[in-house]
Structure formats: C-alpha cells, structure tokens
Amino acid sequence: ANVNTKITVTEFQAKYNPFGIRSTGKLIDDIFKFHKSDLMKQHIRILNDFPASQLPDKFDARKRWPQCSSIHDVPNQGGCGSCYAVAVAGVASDRMCISTNGTVQVTLSPDDIVSCCTACGTCFGGDPLKALIYWVNEGIVTGGQDGCRPYPYDIKCGVPCPLFEFAKNVKLQKCDRKCQKIYYQNDYFNDKYFASIAYTMVPRILPLPAYGNIPIPAVMDYFNYDITLEILKKELYLFGPMTMAFPVTEEFLHYANGIYTPFPENDFTKRIIYWHVVRIIGWGHDRERLFYWTAVNSYGRSWGEYGLFRIDVRFLEQFGLEYEAALV
C-alpha cells in the first residue's frame, strides 16, 4: 500500500477538524514556504544590517516597549502541561503590540491553542513552532479572564503543579468555537488575531506523525553559526520576545533567584523530567561577565524572581535549545 494513504490518529483529527493544522504535509510545506518568503528575506536583511555594536550590554523588553503591558504578564499554566501554548500566546500578544506601536493591546488565549490546534499538542505538552504556525493560519482569539476564551485550568494544585494533575484535566480540552457569555465584543471567528510567517531561529528536528523526525530550515541558515547568540539578541531587540524550549530537571522547579544553571551536570540527561517552553524578554551579564537570558516562566508570580528567572544556557546548548518566533 502507498504509505501516503495511511492516516495516523493525529492526521485523522487534523483532516476532519478543518481548524486543526490540516495535515502533517501542509505543516512542512508551510515551514518551507515561510522560510523562502519575501517577508523572511526582508527579515534576514534587517537582522543582517543592524550593527551588532548597537546591541546593549543588558536588555529588558519591558523597558524598550513600555507601552506594551502584555510583556509584564506572568501566566500560571496550572494543572495543564500547556507551557508551549502559554509561551506562544505571550509572544503573540507582545508582538501584536510591538508591531503596531502599542495600538493593538491584547491578551491572546493559550486555551485556543491547547483546545483547537490538534497538531500543536495537549495538556501533556506540545510544540511551540506548531502553535506559532497555528497563529499564522488560524489565528488566536483573546484570552484572560474577560476575553473570548479564558484559561480553564485550575492553578490551586501547586507551584508548579505535579504531572499527575495534567491527566485529570485532559477532559477540559474542548474545542468550543464560541466565546464565553460575558464577552460580547466579537464572535469567535471575528476575534482572531493573525501573524504572517512563523520560524525557528536555530536548526532543529520536527517530530511528525507518519513522517518521522524532519530537519527544518531556520533563520540561522542564512548566517554563520558562530554569531548565533548575536542574531538571537538582534531578533529580541528588534522584534520582541520569542519562545525558548529547554530540558528541565528537578532543581529548576525549586529555583528561587539568581542565574540558573543545571547542577550537578553529571547524569543530567537521566534527570530530565520534561522539556519546558518559556518566553525570553531580555539578557544581561553578572559581575563575572557570565551571559544570561531573562525569561518569563508559566508558574505564576510566587515562583522564582516574581515569576521570572535568569538562565545561563551554555551547558544546555548541547541538547539543542529551540528558539522560535513569528512576524505579525
């Protein structure tokens, strides 16, 4: 039989759910289409032409774009492994504001991604790049308590919630294409906000049902890999926050303050609990000139440095960190 006629569960859901990413093949096509688009060529030109010497020693997106209140938001994913959707909804809200110079101020809904993008993931985790592509193709509605689709998962289960809580909440994952009753500004379909192209910054593998692991093109394909950090900084400085995925061990869950780095390093791979996705909003150096990213986590404000953390990624880079974004 022709391999292409076999339909996996994910593809079946996508095929018969016109609002999911339509099929795995379409997903790959989109990634390559975005990579070769005129908008991407223009994006690369801007990144290339901006002088690295003009990048500040330390940077905070909240100060660069004070008109964008969403950059300050610290979400709490509660009893759902939705970090990928929460981080993407945050990046999308920030970039909507930044790209419109503050005229569009929205809090976009992670629940729209978790519930209605079958290909993106579930309460047991998912892929931020797929969620960013969903933002391009299907749009994301408003969230927050008083938006179209509020976040339904309970946050009383701890900081962060234990993994067994996620299983209980899968039943809440319903793609109901209606806004909550108190939200009367728009209907669901007219409440959507869209991006133009989505992309990964550094090369990575995309695991796809029926296709296996597919290497996908990245922004860094246009540059020398020696300047990866410089290009990541330019992306953040010129266009706003982006997502970062990295492996997490137990000690990260108990982070209180300072610059996080995995410790001890030995047996690190055996100790990985899961991959986690966060929103990067800045960078800096400590007194020893150690570089760190400043990131917003999704464990609420009582975790870490008021919900944020600083991370030294040198050790983690060997595991293939993923940085992703989209242009409005």
> Catalytic pick from 43, 120, 179, 276?
276
Catalytic: 123? no
- Give the Cα separation of 10 and 250 in Å (integer): 31
> Catalytic pick from 76, 137, 169, 297?
297
- Give the Cα separation of 215 and 111 in Å (integer): 28
Catalytic: 276? yes
> Catalytic pick from 83, 97, 123, 148?
83
Residues sharing a CB contact under 8 Å with residue 226, sequence separation 6 or more, in sequence order: none
**Cβ atoms 132, 139 nearer than 8 A:** no
**Cβ atoms 295, 281 nearer than 8 A:** yes
- Give the Cα separation of 106 and 143 in Å (integer): 8
Q: Is 164 exposed, middle or buried (0-12, 13-18, 19+ CB in 10 A)?
A: exposed
Question: Any idea of the CA torsion for 110, 111, 114, 120, to the nearest 10 degrees?
Answer: -40
Catalytic residues: 83, 276, 297
